[in-house]
Amino acid sequence: MAEPTSRSFPTASPAVSTASPSAGVARLTCRAVSTAEERAAHFLIRHQVFVVEQGLFRDANGAGAGQDWDAHDDDPATVHVVGLADEVICGTVRLYPLAGGSGQWKGDRLAVLDGHRHQGLGAPLVRFAVATAGQLGGREMEAYIQPANVRFFRWLGWRPAGGLVTYAGIPHQRMLIGLDAPAGDRGLG
């Protein structure tokens, strides 16, 4: 199956009015990383959100510069995604198949820069990841979600699985979504 390369999502934004007839609406686009510049932006955003803002991925004593990169980032099966608002890269998500070839995929590293969080880019990034995993043969996707974001993922059609677990030193909820369901039931609509 062909991998989706780009999807656009218009959304309301509290932006200041301009001469454009679509003033106040940011044009949101998500696409798989295809250039070195996009890949660098993807990693920069992840570092800013997870390491700098949230203080995650530090050593066991909570010290060190922190790095959210791992072996999945060099795996050719991993899909790195950027999200853009009005052609500015300001969000990311990463997805990859889990070992065993059973159609299980994982989505993680969902991040949107602080100054762009009001534009509604999170949902399109999640939807793009779900659609991509499904188009690449996935049957189910999992993600570990910070508790404050569980309601958002439920709204997108995800369901909790089990209780809270510690991931990157803080509580997370494992959540699942079927990828073989009709589009409206996969967090796509």
For 11, 42, 161, 184, the CA distances from 33, given in Å and listed in that order, are: 22, 8, 30, 26
Q: Where are the domains of the chain?
A: 6-12+26-185
What the block records as the tokens of 75 is 């795996």
Could you please state the CATH topology (level 3) that the domain comprising 6-12+26-185 is classified under: Aminopeptidase (3.40.630)
- Distance of alpha carbon 55 from alpha carbon 79, whole angstroms: 25
User: pTM of the entire structure?
Assistant: 0.81
Give per-residue pLDDT as tens, 137-151.
999 999 999 999 999
Residues 15 and 23 sit within 8 Å (Cβ to Cβ)? yes
Q: What is the DSSP letter of 17?
A: P
The stretches in the chain having pLDDT less than 70 are: 1-24, 58-65, 181-189
What the block records as the tokens of 27 is 């044009």
